[in-house]
Each structure stands twice: as structure tokens, then as C-alpha cells.
Amino acid sequence: MVSAAKITVLSDDPALWPETLTDQQRCEIIKRGPVQIKEFDFPQNNDKIPRQFTVDNYHMKMNNGEKINWNWLVYSLSSDSVFCFCCTVFERESKFALSSSGFRSWINIHSHLRDHEKSKIHCANMQNLRELAERLKTGTAIDSACQELRALEVQHWKAVLRRILAIVCNLAERNQALRGHSEKLFEPHNGNFLGQIELMAQFDPVMSEHLRRIDKKEIKDHYLSKTIQNELISLVGQKTKDAIVQKVKDAKYFSVIMDCTPDTSHNEQMSLVLRIVNCESCSGASISEHFVGFFSVQDTSGRGLCNTLTKELKNMKLNIADCRGQSYDNGSNMMGHKQGVQKSAGDKPKGTVFFCVVCDLFFGILQRLYNLFSSSVHRWSILQRHVKLTVKNLSTTRWECRIESVKALRHQYPEMIEALSALTEHAAEKKDGETLYSAQNLCKELMSWQFILCVVIWYNVLFHINHVSKLLQSPNMAIDAVKRETDHVKQFLQEYRDHGISSAKTEAREIAEKLQVDMTFPVARQRRTTRKFLYEGKDEVQLTPEQHFNQEFFLPLIDTALISISERFTQVDVFFSLFGFLYSANNMKKAIQDTLEDSCKKLERTLGQPRPGSGSEDILDYIYKENLLELYGNLSIALLLLLTLPITVASGERSFSSLKLIKHFLRSTMSQERLTGLAMISIEQRVRRSLNMEDIINAFAETKTRMVQF
């Protein structure tokens, strides 16, 4: 029976080793061998003439000029000093600085290292190191049996960690809660994490053995606590984020997509998404948008959000000068020209371009219609017996819910009236006065020519806007397509403003005839203005009910839509004037006729650097696949910059869906670090699955000193 000795996973930094090393710790260190740090910006000391350790100090220069590497010399990051590897392993408690506290007198380091190399203690320790390393390699050490058992135990714990990590990632990808009311095994309501541990133990021998040891109290560290969960989530999330940041650095140019929303604990969460173009000679070019985290912000002003953005980009070691585009929602704190993030961030990098994306009474009636039927299961069944498309709850942020709600009424108007009539009869039988009153009032409001006309007009306008909104949500949407689609919407709205009222009447007349609704507008009493002075005119303009409807409802609706689209897509015209000549053969021919050189110089002046910048994904993909970078270097950069520009904030909006699933009212006390880690695993599943889980396990083992019994 092997004694219950404890193994500590030690760091490669000798300054962090304990003062007294056990035999098992010594064997573990020798198996890993010395680690010489070379790619590091070594700090300077505080001498009168500041000096620092350099990579050349790892070598001994011979008289003939040849350099010999001192493999036994290692540098400590934590103490900014050097150690002798073999002497630190075997003579940790000696008086020599190279084996105890570390040596950091850089002015005479070479002479000191030469003297140490010739010392008897160093030579003896080097001999002991070689003998022990050879015995460990051949398995002929005195405690070889213990070493074999230790190796088996290490493999067992790695296998346990692999399974725990797989369960954590599986639950996080599906936005499921890990913890329950209890944190003990084999108890009801102990959460999804422990539940899957118990389920896996029924079929997996490794996890079954792990639970047996926990049940028999043979081990104390079982790695199933909430603390371990948080550490694993944080490590996986950070690993995923590092992989994304590396992709951004490889792509060089990137764009920022940013949006904010309050969470269930009333904290303002800022979602940050980076858009890049991946260019590889084999696979060509592809556009991708990557989520990099939620950040809690206290200052929601434009300056505060800009400072948060700059801070996070600095933490990720990304150069803000390579940020070629920024995309926000239409909030004043985001895109405001005076105090918005666009203005604040626009004062910094030259060559960055900004792109901002895409009546109460009427929708109030639709919401009342939904509330009436959805407040009771029996009422909802009455609605389903008469219609196929049910009414939808209105959302203040998702306009697609509004088009779906109007659509249910537009295509099923007679059926909806029948459902209200059936509900009225049912309420009368049950003597439900409140329901009867609500149903009768709604039926009366829906059975009016004015409301039917409003339904037709709203549906026609929202249908065309929603069609473009769907197209713009694709990450591969190009600016030329945005220009084309938004121009079509503007053209439709302009034509609908001139002739839409007559076509809407034709469509509404079909519904009114089926319902036998009087096709006249209600006559409202004209308000007369009292004359206070004799010289005031007596004549007052008397509008007909139809003219009043056209002036108070139809024209303001269309004009508001036109103005909103023009404002939200005003940057498209700016971009297209710069990059439009690169999109198609016709535009290219026109550009040649209008002097292509002028267009390129205009693009160069706008970006602030001698690089053109925009084009089509197909062209860039062809350049990289056919290895034509040497011929079309400037054109490829131009295409790369254009494709990096964001079109919408759809990716940021989608991240809010995950936010609401992860942090809901039952998990409102979740920490920010756990929230970001879970969101990274959930949203960036493809990146996470491409990571090496062994690296995650090793990083987890090095994060905290683990004490494992065997």
C-alpha cells in the first residue's frame, strides 16, 4: 500500500519552489527539465547605469569565439534573477545565491557564472542530475514503483479533469444552469452539473472510480465544487478569447461592433464584437464576426463608453489604429455627433470610418388584442380554432414582432372578427363582464374603415422594411448590396407616399366588403378657434375626414420612415462614393472614364494612408486562392479594408439573446467573470471546439497549487 504522499504541481519558476523539496517534487522537476525564457522584455535594475538580463547571458563565449549554451542557467520572472537549475534542485538550502534567493548582479554575471561552473558543489550536483534523469528515463530509480503509481495517478486525474471540463462546456454551450439548490452528490435538486457527473459515473469507469473515492472519503479534493466550475469556465473563456484575439492580430485590420443593454440585475452590459476578414493562401478569404465579451459599464455616456472600448482594446493588445470601422445602434450616446462614442472615438485614429445601422394607438389595440386572448388558456383555444396565424406580443426593441402581429390581422381579418364574436358569446354565457366588455370594444374598433386602412398601410410599410432588415443581418452583406436595397426601400416609400393611399383603399375595400363595414371615415367635430381681436380672419380651413386621415396619419408615417432610413444609412453614400468603383465591371469602366487615378487618390486621402480599400469578397478570395498578392497587393488591401467595414449591429443584438438565457432572474447574482466566460463558450462554440483541451487542463493545473493524494 502506497503512503498517502501528496504531489504538488510546481511552476517552472525556481523562485516559487518551496524551500525544502521532497523526492517526488525533485523527480517531477527533473522530468520537465530546465526552461530558459528567451522571448521576453527583461526589466532593468535600479543601478546608476541601468542594466538588465539578456539572452546572451545564457551562453559562455570561448576564446576561439565559439558559444556554448549553459543549459543549467534559468531565469525567474517573479524575482528578476537567475538560478542554477541543478544546484537549486539538490542544494536549495545552501548559501549560494544561484541556488537559494537568485543572482541578479548583471554587471559581473559572466565572471560569477564561470566561477560557479567550476565549483565542486556545482559539478557534484550536475552529476547527480544526470544520474537521476537517466534512472527516471529507464525506470531504474530506487522508487521506480512509486513513480509508476504516481504516473498512473496523474493520468487518472487528467482523465477526471477531461470529463469535468467536457460537462462544463456542454452545459455552457446550451446556456443551462450548472448549480442547483444543493451542492452534494446523490441529492435531489443538486443541479445539472452534478446530475451529469452522476449519470456519467453509471457508464464510465473513470468517473465511477472518482465518485467511489469521494464516497469512501479517500480524497479531499474532488474538483466538483462551484469554485472549480468558475475556474474552468474562466480558463476556457479566456482561452477562447485569446484564440479570437490572435485571429484578429493575424488579420491586422478589424472593426468594432458595440451595443449596450441592461441585464436582469439592472447592470448596463456592453457587448463587444470584432469583425475581421480571414485571408489564407489555401482557403481564400472569409468574413467573420467574433464576440469577445460582456463588460459592465457605469458611465453610459459617449465618453465613458469610448474609454471602456479603448481600455479593452488595450488589454487585448490590439492597435486601435488598425480599427477601420465602428458600428453602433442609433442611440445618442453611441452615434451622437457631439458626445457619442462615434465622436469620442473618431478623434483618435485617422482613417476610421463609422457606419450606423438599422402609431401608439394602433399598436396599442394590437397589444390589447394579444393580452385578451393570451390571458387565458380557454381564450387562446378559441383563437386557434378560428385562425392559423396567432397574434404576437409586441416588443419595444424587435420590430419583427410588430410585422408578425400586423400580418396575423392583415391576412385573417374576418377570422379574427369571428374569434372575437365567439369570445363575446362565451363571456356572455359565463357572465364574465370584464371579458365581454373588452371583446366588444375591440370588435367595435376593428370593425371600422379607418382601422382596416391603417392595418393595410402599416403592413405594406413594415413588410418592405423588414425584408431589408433580414438581408442586412448577414455578416457577408456588402456595401453595394446595402446601397441597392436601401435605395429600393426609399424608392418604394416615395412612390407609396404619392400613390399608396389609393392602392391601400383598394386592398382595404376587399376586407370591408367581407365584413360589411361602412367604408366612410368618421366625421369629427371641427374645433373652432375663438377670435380675440377684430382684425383676425373669420375663414377657417375645413378638412374632410379623408384629408384629415391623410394629413394626420398617412403622410407623417411615410415621411418618418423616409427620414429615419436616410439618417440611419447616410454613411452608405459616403462609402459608396469611395469604394463603389471597385464593385462591378460597369462601375470600373465608368471609373476609368472618369479617371481611375482620381478615385484612388480620393480613397487614399480619406483613409489617411497610401492604401486603397474596398471590394468584393469573391475578388479577394480569388486573389488569395490563386496566389496573386504580388500582382495585386494594393487591390487586396483595398478589398480587405472594405470587407472589414461592419454593416449592422446584428451580431451584438444576438449576443443579448445569450445574455438573457445565461443571466435570468434565477441567476441574477452571477459574477461578471462567470457571465463573460459562459457567454464566450456559448456564443463562440466553433472557436472553443477547435482548442486543445490538454492545454486547458494544464493551464487549470498551473492556476492553483493542486494537492492530489494517491
pLDDT tens-digit series, residues 325-383: 787 764 545 555 555 555 555 444 444 444 443 355 778 888 888 888 888 888 899 99
List all residues 6 or more positions away from 147 whose beta carbon is below 8 Å from its beta carbon: 27, 136, 139, 141
pLDDT at 633: 67
Residues 94-105 have pLDDT tens digits of 677 788 888 888
- Per the rule left: phi > 0, alpha: psi between -120 and 50, beta: everything else, 36 is beta
pLDDT higher for 473 or 77? 77
pLDDT at 389: 84
b vs e for 616-643, b when ≥16 Cβ sit within 10 Å of the residue's Cβ? bbebbbebbeeeeeeebeebbbbbbbbb
Q: How far apart are CA 75 and CA 14, in angstroms?
A: 8
List all residues 6 or more positions away from 490 whose beta carbon is below 8 Å from its beta carbon: 562, 565, 566
Q: Give the SS3 label for residue 8.
A: strand
pLDDT at 676: 92
Residues 369-424 have pLDDT tens digits of 888 888 888 889 999 998 888 888 876 656 566 788 888 888 899 999 999 999 99
Average pLDDT, integer, range 208-218: 89
| Portion of the chain with pLDDT greater than 70, in percent | 75
pLDDT at 283 over 80: no
List all residues 6 or more positions away from 263 whose beta carbon is below 8 Å from its beta carbon: 269, 659, 663, 668
Residues 237-269 have pLDDT tens digits of 999 999 999 999 988 889 898 888 888 888 889
Distances (CA, A) of 25 to 8, 17, 125, 520, 652: 7, 9, 16, 93, 48
Average pLDDT, integer, range 563-575: 65
Q: How far apart are CA 647 and CA 232, in angstroms?
A: 35
Q: Give the per-residue SS3 of 390-415.
A: CCCCCCCCCCHHHHHHHHHHHCCHHH
Beta strands in 350-391 (DSSP E): 353-356
**Closest C-alpha to 517, from 456, 433, 458:** 456
Distances (CA, A) of 140 to 499, 602, 672: 95, 75, 51
Q: How confident is the model at residue 700 (pLDDT cuts 50, 70, 90)?
A: low
- Tell me the pLDDT of the chain averaged across its residues: 78
Q: How confident is the model at residue 196 (pLDDT cuts 50, 70, 90)?
A: very high
Average pLDDT, integer, range 292-320: 86
Average pLDDT, integer, range 414-441: 89
pLDDT higher for 545 or 687? 687
The dihedral of CA 101, 102, 108, 112: what is its sign? Answer: positive
pLDDT at 680: 93
Whether the full predicted model's pTM is greater than 0.85, yes or no, is no
pLDDT at 525: 63
As given in the structure block, the three cell numbers for residue 276 are 475581421
